[in-house]
Amino acid sequence: MARAKIKRGSTHVDMTAMCDVAFLLLSFFILTGQFKPSEAVEISPPNSVSNKHAPQKDAFTVSIDKDSRVFLGLTDDIKGDIWDELVKEKNLKVTAQDKQDFLGTDFIGVPFSQLLQFIKIPADQKKNVKMPGIPVDSTNNELQAWIGAASTAGEGKKLNFLIKGDNNAKYPVFGSVIDAFKKNDIFKYNLITNAEDAPPGTALYEENLKAQHKDD
Amino acid sequence: MAEMEVKSGGGHKKGPGVKKGKKLSTRVDLTPMVDLGFLLITFFIFTTTLAEPTSMNLAMPKDTKDPNQENKVKESGSLTLMLGKGNVIYYYYGNDPTKMQTTGYKDVRKLIIDKKKNTPAEDLFIIIKPDKDATYKNAVDVLDEMTINDIGRYAMVDPTPDEYKLIQQTEQAGGVK
């Protein structure tokens, strides 16, 4: 009797299907991932043990760079309202085009006197403009007017006031920013930081451990 | 399919004049492409989740002119941390700034823990006074220490002119630039 021939299976696997899956996932992640919003200046925030995520909606972000200049960033969902409110409060003469220009501006770092001029600069050139920052001195605190306009415009909504400071920003500027908020009766803000683990052996560390055990 | 061309033996077996027209396989080995695909996926997963910044809540009290509404702090329970130039902390207990001592950001935690241990919880109050030369990082670091050590009662205020003068004198004496 002839012996049955055992066919050796090939060890090669068809990679086509796996390749398809890999690239499908890849395109999914690229498309859903949010791009980092363009920033006025590079700011490296300090670390903190806080692990709450910074709110991304209705955000009014005050940035302080390492030279202690103050910038303002608004999310698109509140930008239009704030502009209308500001125009009303400051009695500015503006056109519809100005509003469009403002909506296309990601960050503001100039005093009111230069604002209309600044928003007219095409978006791709704004980065190259050297901005003096928004004045926050006690004599001329324009940030206060911005916050005022924002809190009037954002009535009914919960605005998130974020402060994003650079490691090397000087404290007095931070103090003036807080003062500007205080004058508008706003006492709660979020400081944007990088996450860091609680150091072992401290009260917070023990608390986190307990919370973890509870979950288990 | 992913296949490799395997040459059987050496070329010496072929007789003279024997030429074989070999058909090239059109199949491409996709393994490296899959590797690359997954590498990119991991990259995108990591960068998108890590880029999301965290935030720390800060609530400030309303400024009050009325002294009756101000919080009273027990002298025995208070610890004042003054943040100076060059990442230095000056601290004193109670309300006598002249007994000021110097420490750094690495040792301040031990200081706070010790104070917390030796003080009844309802008396403990930490006053943070960043002076003009402190950086934003300093202020956030100290606020962070409050969270780390579970301090419920603390306040951030400006140093008094006397205290500021004292800090400057100490800095000059110590040669801090």
Cα–Cα dist B55/A195, whole Å: 8
Residues of A in contact with B106 (CB under 8 A): none
Cα–Cα dist B127/B129, whole Å: 6
Q: Is residue B31 part of a domain?
A: no
Q: What is the pLDDT of residue B10?
A: 46
Closest B-chain CA to A47: B141
Give, in order, the Cα–Cα distances in Å from A81 to each of A145, A184, B170, B175.
14, 18, 50, 52
The average pLDDT across A49-56 equals 79
Q: Is residue B53 part of a domain?
A: no
Q: Where are the domains of chain A?
A: 47-195
CB contact under 8 A, A171 and B57: no
Q: What is the pLDDT of residue A40?
A: 60
Closest A-chain CA to B36: A22
Number of neighbours of residue A65 by Cβ within 10 angstroms: 23
Q: Which tokens go with A194?
A: 């990088």
H runs (alpha helix) in B51-135: 108-118
Angle at A84 between CA A80 and CA A85, to 5 degrees: 115
Q: Is residue B136 part of a domain?
A: yes
Cα–Cα dist B157/B128, whole Å: 6
Number of neighbours of residue A131 by Cβ within 10 angstroms: 20
Q: What is the mean pLDDT of chain A?
A: 81
pTM of the complete model:
0.72
Closest B-chain CA to A23: B37
Burial of B156 (0-12, 13-18, 19+ CB in 10 A): buried
CB contact, 8 Å: A66 with chain B?
no
Cβ(B149)–Cβ(A205) under 8 Å?
no
Residues A88-125 pLDDT 10s? 887 777 778 888 888 877 778 888 888 888 888 877 77
Residue matched to tokens 């992913």:
B2
Cβ(B55)–Cβ(B144) under 8 Å?
no
A/B interface, count of CB pairs below 8 Å: 171
Of A12, A29, A164, the CB nearest to B45: A29
Cβ(A136)–Cβ(A142) under 8 Å?
yes
CB contact, 8 Å: B149 with chain A?
yes
CB contact, 8 Å: B18 with chain A?
no
Full residue range of the structural domain in which residue B98 is found: 74-174
Q: At what angle do helices A112-120 and A96-103 cross, to 10 degrees?
A: 80
Q: At what angle do helices A96-103 and A76-90 cross, to 10 degrees?
A: 140
Phi, psi dihedrals of residue A155, rounded to the nearest 5°: -60, 135
Handedness of CA A111, A112, A117, A122 (dihedral sign): positive
Q: Which tokens go with A87?
A: 């125009």
Residues A155-200 pLDDT 10s? 777 888 888 888 888 888 888 888 888 888 888 888 888 877 778 7
Residue count of chain A: 216
Residues of B in contact with A170 (CB under 8 A): 132-136
CATH of the domain at B134: 3.30.420
CB contact under 8 A, B136 and A166: yes
Q: What is the pLDDT of residue B4?
A: 52
Cβ(B156)–Cβ(B130) under 8 Å?
yes
Of B52, B136, B144, the CB nearest to A169: B136
CB contact, 8 Å: A34 with chain B?
yes
The average pLDDT across B21-45 equals 84
